[in-house]
Amino acid sequence: MIDKEEIIQSYYPIVRRIVKKTVVRMPEGYDEEDFVQIGMMGLLKAIENWDENKSLSEFKSYANTKIRGYILDKLRSIDPVSRYARDKLKKINMAYRQLMSEGNFNPTDDEIAERADMSIDEFNELLYKQSNSTMLSIDEAVSSDDGDMVLLEVIENKSSKSPLAILEEEELKDIVKEALKALNETEITVLSLYYYEDFNMKEIASLIGKTESRISQIKTKALLKIRAYVENKTKMEG
C-alpha cells in the first residue's frame, strides 16, 4: 500500500524537475510554481487511479507519465503555435522519416524542406516558431505498436522496475543510441548538456557561442531526427 502523504512530499522535487524539462519557455502570466501545482494534480490523479497490487517502482513510471500529461495538456491549451504550424511540423517529421528510411540519416535542411514541400525560408521559420513555443511537441511520446513511450524519459535514462517496462525501455534505448549516429557533433553536445548536465538554453548558448534561439533550433532538429529514426525502427520491428 502506498503512503499518499509520503509520496506527495517525496515527489515535489521530481515534479519540479519534470516542469523544467517539459516547459521550454514559461508562458506569459505563469511561473514555475504554477506548473508544479499542475504537475501535483497529475500526481494526485495517479495516486487515485493506482492499482495498489502493483509495485511502488511501477507506480513511479506511471506517475511520471501522468504528471507530464497534465503539464502538456495545460501547455496545449495556451501554446501560441497554430494548428497550421503543427500540421507543417508533422510534414517535417514525416520528411525526416522518409529520408531516413531511404538511407539518408543526416539530411540537409534543403533536402528536408524539399521533401516536406516547403521553401527553406518556411522551414527555418517553423523551426524558429517551434523553438519559441512554450512546449516541444516532439518531446511528448514516440508511438509504437505497444503504445506510447515518452522519448524524454528514454533519453534521460529513466525506467521503472517492471520486467516488461524494462524490456520495452531497454529496447527503445538501444534504438535511440543508434539514432544518435544521425546527429552531428553540435547536436549531440546540445542534447548532452541539456538532458544529462542540466544546463539551460542560455547556459548552453554561452558555452557554445551561439544565440539562445539557435540552440533551441538545434535541439528541435536533433529531437526530430531521433524521433523519426525511432518511429521508423519501431514500426519495422513491430
* CATH code of the domain occupying 4-78: 1.10.1740.10
Question: What pLDDT score does 167 carry?
Answer: 45
Question: What pLDDT score does 21 carry?
Answer: 76
Question: What pLDDT score does 229 carry?
Answer: 82
CATH 1.20.140 residue ranges of the chain are 83-237
Element (H, E) at 151: helix 151-155
- Sign of the Cα pseudo-torsion (77, 231, 105, 155, in order): positive
Question: What pLDDT score does 80 carry?
Answer: 59
Question: What pLDDT score does 145 carry?
Answer: 39
CATH 1.10.1740.10 residue ranges of the chain are 4-78
**Nine-digit cell string for 49:** 487511479
Question: What pLDDT score does 147 carry?
Answer: 38
**Residue type at 191 in one-letter notation:** L
* CATH code of the domain occupying 83-237: 1.20.140
Question: How buried is 9 (Cβ within 10 angstroms: 0-12 exposed, 13-18 middle, 19+ buried)?
Answer: exposed
Q: What is the DSSP string of 101-168?
A: HTT-SS--HHHHHHHTTS-HHHHHHHHHHHHTSSS-GGGS-EEETTEEE-HHHHHTT---S-HHHHHH
The verdict on pTM exceeding 0.95 is no
Residues 170 and 146: their CA atoms lie apart, in Å, by 14
Which residues, given as ranges, of the chain have pLDDT below 70?
Answer: 1-2, 24, 79-82, 131-173, 235-238
Question: What pLDDT score does 196 carry?
Answer: 75
Question: What pLDDT score does 57 carry?
Answer: 74
